[in-house]
């Protein structure tokens, strides 16, 4: 598996599932995505990927690979307004 595939899984976990992991934790998901694209998982009903490391271990990576960075004032009301916009 390549770093590019792992970072794609890392981004997908954040964007689709709202799960913020460190890149190394996305490796199992990247492997599943690769096997699925090769149609090697057909017939399986359940797949479990363990993601143990949180994204705050490497926050610079998140900033580097993000398409858009939104900054919000560190205040609950500001965050609520941002989320509800």
Task: Catalogue all structural domains in the chain, each as residue range(s) with its CATH number.
Answer: 3-84 (3.40.50.1100)
Q: What is the pLDDT of residues 14-33, one digit of tens each?
A: 999 999 999 999 999 999 99
- As a three-state string, the secondary structure of 44-60 is CCCCCCCCCCEHHHCHH
Helix, coil or strand: residue 9: helix
Helices (H), the chain: 3-12, 27-37, 59-65, 76-84
pTM of the model: 0.77
Q: What is the pLDDT of residues 33-72, one digit of tens each?
A: 999 999 999 999 999 999 988 899 888 888 888 888 788 9
């Amino acid at each position: 598996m390549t770093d590019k595939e792992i970072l794609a899984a890392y981004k997908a976990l954040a964007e689709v599932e709202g799960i913020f992991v460190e890149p190394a934790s996305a490796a199992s998901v990247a492997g599943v995505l690769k096997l699925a694209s090769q149609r090697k998982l057909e017939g399986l009903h359940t797949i479990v990927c363990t993601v143990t490391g949180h994204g705050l271990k490497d926050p610079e990576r998140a900033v580097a690979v993000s398409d858009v960075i939104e900054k919000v004032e560190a205040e609950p009301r500001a965050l609520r307004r941002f989320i509800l916009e």
